[in-house]
Amino acid sequence: MPSRGRRPLVRPELTRRRFLGATAAAAFLAACSRGGGSDSASPSPPPRLENDPFTLGVASGDPSSDSVVLWTRLAPVPIEGGGMPAEDVEVGWEIATDDAMGDIAASGVALAVPELGHSLHVDAGGLDPDRPYWYRFFTGDWETPVARTRTMPAPDASPEHLRFGHVSCQNYDAAFYAAYADLAAHGPDLIVHCGDYIYERPSTEAGEGFEELVVRDDPVPEAFDLGAYRNRYALYKGDSNLQAAHAVAPWLVTWDDHEVENNYTADSPEADSETADRESFLERRAAAYQAWWEHIPVRMEAPDGPDLAIYRRASFGDLVRFLVLDTRQYRTPQECGNPDAPIGDVGPRCDAAFAPETTVLGVDQEAWVADELGGSSAVWNVLAQQIVVQQWRFAPGNAAWNLDQWDGYPAARDRLLSTLADSDATNPVVLTGDVHSSWVGGLTEDFDDPDAVALGTEFVAPGISSDNGAVNIAVDVVPGNSPHVAWAEAMHRGWVLHDVNRDAWNTEYRFVDDATVEDSSVSTGSTWTLPTGHGAVPTRT
């Protein structure tokens, strides 16, 4: 363990810190007293931590051109409640321009409080745009390894190039995270996570047939309350490959259903939920959202209750504008569902699916998307979201639609596609997760018309580890009925590398060769290039 030496914890002239959440005032006072400022608030001596509290690694996220959120959580006994005393603990942090941590750009002391699971979200500000930084946390005798992050270019800059990872669906017991080892080795500028960061229960509790898919042990029972959701995050975040991917680049994260419960919409649980009534489901959602906030490097206040607005924009200069969407929290309940269908979620659309008031994004988020696209001068306009937008036609007529996807909400999808068609935003690209399989396709205003002009492109990421299950059937039948689908593959777990410049968007699907082994090789599944310009469709290279 390297010594902290005599370097002061805080160098006030270089430090511009802003703490998030309810701890801001206390943390500020603590930091001042450490930094030689006011002595009026003398914190009590920290509890002595006998064991390494940094078992969950570190992370960074929501980078802007002058700041990035640095994350960690103290949890010496990760999957059994964290193991921390019920006390506030001061944690030092520093961010430097070099990986030897010699040139500190900002530093401070943050307060980890039991109410927030001893998690930390430090908004490290005053940074220079468009460059890498390195950071670490320390408390008592313990410190984290040094991790890499990065700032975005200035909003009015015109960067030439962005290289980022696109991931989703990391069911812990369904496979090892070899995909994350490969992603970390690629050292991208940014990682976009489209949801299903955790699953709310182990596969052994997910119903018949799922046990057979278990590749590694998940000893943490289904989560219904805050403590149990924390334990599930702690299980996942204990994985060294996931930690390596967090330690290499900042992340931009949204959630899908499994961060709360399979296929939930707004205040409606899944069909056979143990939290079936609205009140108990919303209590569960509040716990799940708080645990998500506690474990994800996001720049937002901690939730207080069952609501948490997470849709937001991130810009990589004028090259890419990311709109990070939430397709779960505001969605109209699925009224056409058929829990007895042989393929889960698939069935005919009922009249309710066509009602104009049905929504996936909710009224406010839908208006926000239109505003953001209308006001964008970015070369590429990305919707980073969860569920498949392109139509999956299983059969002629109305027999079979995946009702949990945008296919279950045709009126809402028509509005989204008209927004894309009417907007001046150039080169829309949708990034999707959820379905544990790889899809490349065009977005058109009439998916059944082979001559329809593409308004945009959708890349669907395979699961990092989640099994593909019934999706194999979709891959067998959907492309033949769907002229806009360029490619579909459901046999591999993996991730997607997008290499974006001002003339073209180049994509490589990275496939795990054997998801049942931790150090599996990972190889190229397919590569694509998408030129800029209206009506452009990706070409396989």
Measured from the CB atom, the residue of 17 and 285 that comes closer to Ca ion is 285
* 318 forms part of the interface with Ca ion (CB under 5 A): no
489 binds, among Ca ion, Fe ion, none (CB under 5 to 8 A by kind): none
Give the shortest CB-171-to-Ca ion separation in angstroms.
10
Cβ atoms of 177 and 239 within 8 Å: the answer is yes
Report how far residue 356's alpha carbon sits from residue 363's, in angstroms, rounded to the nearest whole number: 12
For residue 229, how far is the Cα from the chain centroid? 17
466 binds, among Fe ion, Ca ion, none (CB under 5 to 8 A by kind): Fe ion
Exposure string over 96-113, b if 16+ CB within 10 A, otherwise e: beeeebeebbbbbbbbbb
Give the shortest CB-244-to-Ca ion separation in angstroms.
24
Pair of tokens at residue 335:
């009224």
Report how far residue 449's alpha carbon sits from residue 470's, in angstroms, rounded to the nearest whole number: 27
Report how far residue 254's alpha carbon sits from residue 365's, in angstroms, rounded to the nearest whole number: 14
Nearest to 341 by CA among 333, 351, 331, 349: 349
Measured from the CB atom, the residue of 196 and 218 that comes closer to Fe ion is 196
- Region from 2-10, 284-292, 299-307, 427-435 binding Ca ion, contact rule CB under 5 A: 427-435
- Nearest-10 crossing angle of helices 226-237, 278-295: 40
Q: What's the one-letter identity of residue 376? A: S
Measured from the CB atom, the residue of 84 and 215 that comes closer to Fe ion is 215
Measured from the CB atom, the residue of 285 and 484 that comes closer to Fe ion is 285
**DSSP character at residue 208:** T
Among 434, 458, 489, 508, interactor with Ca ion by CB under 5 A: 434
Measured from the CB atom, the residue of 182 and 196 that comes closer to Fe ion is 196
Give the shortest CB-435-to-Fe ion separation in angstroms.
7
Report how far residue 315's alpha carbon sits from residue 187's, in angstroms, rounded to the nearest whole number: 19
* β-strands 68-73, 104-112 pairing: unpaired
Among 90, 173, 182, 256, interactor with Ca ion by CB under 5 A: 256
* β-strands 190-193, 161-167 pairing: parallel
**DSSP character at residue 436:** S
Task: Give Cβ neighbours of residue 277 (< 8 Å, ≥ 6 apart).
Answer: none
Give the shortest CB-500-to-Fe ion separation in angstroms.
25
Give the shortest CB-339-to-Fe ion separation in angstroms.
18
Measured from the CB atom, the residue of 195 and 317 that comes closer to Ca ion is 195
Give the shortest CB-474-to-Ca ion separation in angstroms.
14
> How many residues of this chain interact with Ca ion, rule: CB under 5 A?
4
Pair of tokens at residue 306:
């069952």
Measured from the CB atom, the residue of 110 and 471 that comes closer to Ca ion is 471
Give the shortest CB-256-to-Ca ion separation in angstroms.
4
Among 173, 182, 200, 257, interactor with Ca ion by CB under 5 A: 257
Give the shortest CB-199-to-Fe ion separation in angstroms.
7
Burial class of 319 by CB neighbour count within 10 A (0 to 12, 13 to 18, 19+): buried
522 binds, among Fe ion, Ca ion, none (CB under 5 to 8 A by kind): none
Q: What does the per-residue mask of binding to Ca ion show for 174-203, with x meaning CB under 5 A?
A: ----------------------x-------
Measured from the CB atom, the residue of 10 and 191 that comes closer to Fe ion is 191
Contact set with Fe ion (CB under 5 A): 169, 196, 466
By CB under 5 A, name the binding residues for Ca ion.
196, 256-257, 434
